Amino acid sequence: MIETALTDLWYGFGVALQPHNLMWCFIGVLVGNMVGVLPGMGPLATISILLPLTFGIKPVGAILMLAGVMYGAQYGGAICSILLNLPCHPPHAVTCLDGFPMTKQGRGGVALGLTVMASFVGASWGITEMIFLSPILVRVALQFGPAEICSLMLLGLLAGSTLARGSPIKGVAMTVLGLMLGIVGTDLETGAERFTFGMTHLDDGIELVALALGLFGVAEFMNSINQVVSINAKYTNVRLRDMRPSKSDVKQAIAPMFRGTLVGSLCALIPGTGPTIASFVAYATEKKISRHPEKFGTGLIEGVIAPEASTHSSVQGDFIPTMSLGIPGDAVMALLLGALMIQGIVPGPQLIKEHPDIFWGLVASFWIGNIMLVLLNVPLIGIWVKLLTIPYKYLYPSALFFVCIGVYAANNDMFQVGETVVIGILGYVLLRLGFHPAPILLGFVLGPRFEENFRRAMLISRGDIFVFVERPISAVFIGLCVLLIALQIYVRIRGAKPPIEIPTALEGAE
């Protein structure tokens, strides 16, 4: 088994090292790294803006680049947290707790250097996991009938919406809203037009790019306009020399690095628990097993390394269900899956077999991209920090233009720019009412496939709704769904509080 995996990986490197693929990967990680540093521009908005521009290039290059944006942003986010105490991106919020005190003590460079190292280790483990687990998952998943696929999707949707931030009921409501938006347009089976309200522009459904940019672009700008965040650039003079950790630092960092990696990879296996949860769990674990838990928050290297390693290992691990089962764990993965679908590639267990170049090329590019990021991060941190001083008032009008042209370029259709505005207003209203709009994207991308498989399952079972609990594999998934809901209710009643207070400077970002 190891042999076939290595042959496949070798093939993957062959794909990823082709000059144009290498170039797209580089552009992806560079852009990702940059937006990871900029507050108020998450990977979601960036990937949505870049998405229409990838229609012209081959699917492999497109997906390498978009995935590069995603993990590149993770490297950038750490810089923001450690040097500026700004939790620009939720997965790095805990890093602030010990990262910024280290910076104040003049050890910010060391923290950054070790973070880059930990990130690489975490990511490498996540990639290894992907190489060996995906083929196994695929072998199992290929046996699935429509009923199993349906209950698996249900589990994915439920986990993605209840385990994310905020109230679980509101999360589920957002997912159902996403499913509803996915229904708009012509019904694939009967050709009936649904919820188009007579607008022929809506026949093909709501455009994915317009939805994503409305929710994570326009709504986000409305949320952060005139919310002045003063940036304290006092500690941002980090020289290359400062970043080299001493031997004792490295020694101290190794154990938390591997513990964090382990936590992250475990979190990646549970659908719906993305990097944000992984980083919090890793921090809490470190604190629990530490001999001096009271020192956390004063600039302990463990408090920086463990969450960062865990974030990266979980980011890579998140690709496993997305690529092998076609079930995305969070909004970014849903967007990447949407990108594949736009390129005419059907996600699901058959993907690895039908498009080995995409899967193995992507895996190989993860490693290449991570190495690029390590090399890039060291000299570029200074430049990224300068970028941080660009005031928001120049940033958002430019970004707004990118949103407009991005949506327009998707189909050369001005109507969809209008769609974005309407969805943006809706997104802002939802934000103000305490909803987190990310699960909408999850429901939107999975919706049409869910409906198709549901219909098929019902047709095969001759309208017997109990087919979902009668077939053993499907019954397991349904059981897990019930368990998940029961657990949420239990936690609710017990009134458990999150173990760590989240720093909330830019909560809405992403």
Partner 1 sequence: MRPAQSPVVRLIQNLVRKRDFYAGGLIIFFGLVMTLKGPGYRLGTLMHMGPGFLPTALGVILICLGIAIAGTGLAVPEGEDEDILPEHPEWFGWACILAGPLCFILFGSYFGLIPAIFTCVFVSAHGDRTATLKNSAVLATVVTVFGVGLFSYVLQVPMPLLTWRGL
Options 131-139, 190-198, 324-332, 497-505: segment touching partner 1 (CB under 8 A): 190-198
- Measured CA to CA, the distance from residue 451 to residue 474 in angstroms comes to 16
Task: Kindly tell me which of 2 and 433 has the beta carbon lying closer to partner 1.
Answer: 433
**Using the rule CB under 8 A, is 229 a contact of partner 1?**
no
Contacts to partner 1 from residues 34-63, by CB under 8 A:
53, 56
By the 8 A CB rule, do 80 and 388 touch? Answer: yes
Distance CA 164, CA 172 (A): 10
Q: Which residues, other chains included, contact 358 with Cβ-Cβ below 8 Å and sequence gap of 6+?
A: 59, 60, 63, 340, 345, 351
Instruction: Check residue 388 and report its DSSP letter.
Output: T
Report if residue 468 touches partner 1, rule: CB under 8 A.
no
Q: Using alpha carbons only, how large is the chain's radius of gyration in Å?
A: 22
CA distance 242 to 58: 41
> Is the Cβ of residue 54 or residue 310 nearer to partner 1 in the bound state?
54
If one asks whether residue 201 binds partner 1 (CB under 8 A), the answer comes out as: no
Member of 106, 293, 382, 397 binding partner 1 (CB under 8 A): 397
d(CA 330, CA 267): 13
176 touches partner 1 by CB under 8 A: yes
**CB within 8 Å of 241: residues ≥ 6 apart:** 109
Q: Does 5 bind partner 1 (CB under 8 A)?
A: no
User: Which residues within the stretch 142-171 sit at the binding site for partner 1 (CB under 8 A)?
Assistant: 167, 169-170
Residue 203, interface with partner 1 (CB under 8 A)? no
* Closer to partner 1 by Cβ: residue 262 or 430: 430
SS (H, E, C) 239-301: CHHHHCCCHHHHHHHHHHHHHHHHHHHHHHHCCCCCHHHHHHHHHHHHHHHCCCHHHCCCCCC
For position 113 contacting partner 1 by CB under 8 A, the verdict is no
Under 8 Å between Cβ of 186 and 203: yes
Scanning 28-36, 200-208, 376-384, 455-463 for contacts with partner 1 by CB under 8 A, the matching segment is 455-463
Q: Three-state DSSP class for 185?
A: strand
Do 16 and 22 contact (CB within 8 A), yes or no? yes
Over the window 366 to 395, marking each residue x when it contacts partner 1 by CB under 8 A and - when it does not, the resulting string is: --------------------------xxx-
Q: 């699901």: which residue's tokens?
A: 348
The reply on whether position 498 binds partner 1 by CB under 8 A is: no
Nearest to 339 by CA among 12, 42, 67, 18: 67
Which residues, 435 to 454, sit near partner 1 by CB under 8 A? 435, 451, 454
Exactly one of 125, 283, 359, 396 binds partner 1 (CB under 8 A); that residue is: 396
Tokens standing for 455? 């219909």
Task: Considering only the stretches 219-227, 278-286, 332-340, 343-351, report the one whose residues sit in contact with partner 1 under the rule CB under 8 A.
Answer: 219-227
Tell me which residues in 302-341 interact with partner 1 (CB under 8 A): none
Three-state secondary structure of 171-184: HHHHHHHHHHHHHC
Q: How far is the CB of 502 from partner 1 (least distance, A)?
A: 15
Among 10, 132, 195, 490, binds partner 1 (CB under 8 A): 195
Q: Is 403 in the site for partner 1 (CB under 8 A)?
A: yes
Q: Is 172 in the site for partner 1 (CB under 8 A)?
A: yes
Counting Cα atoms < 13 Å in the Cβ hemisphere of 152 gives 27
Closer to partner 1 at the Cβ: 408 or 477? 408
- The residue within the footprint of partner 1, chosen from 366, 408, 444, 468 (CB under 8 A), is 408
354 binding partner 1? (CB under 8 A): no
Tokens matching residue 201: 């522009």
Check: CB of residue 215 under 8 Å from CB of residue 437.
Answer: yes
Spatial contact of 353 and 323, defined as CB atoms under 8 Å apart:
no
Does 421 contact partner 1 by CB under 8 A?
yes
- Classify each residue of 117-155 as buried b or exposed e, where b means 16 or more C-beta atoms within 10 Å of its C-beta: bbbbbbbbbbbbbbbebbbebbeebeebbbbbbbbbbbb
Interacting residue with partner 1 among 106, 189, 354, 490 (CB under 8 A): 189
The interface region with partner 1, picked from 39-47, 112-120, 222-230, 366-374 by CB under 8 A, is 222-230
Closest approach, Cβ 192 to partner 1, in A, equals 4
Contact residues: partner 1, CB under 8 A: 53, 56, 167, 169-170, 172-173, 176-177, 179-180, 183, 187, 189-190, 192, 194-195, 218, 221-222, 225-226, 392-394, 396-398, 400-401, 403-405, 408-409, 412, 414, 417-418, 420-421, 424-425, 428-430, 432-435, 451, 454-455, 458-459, 462-465
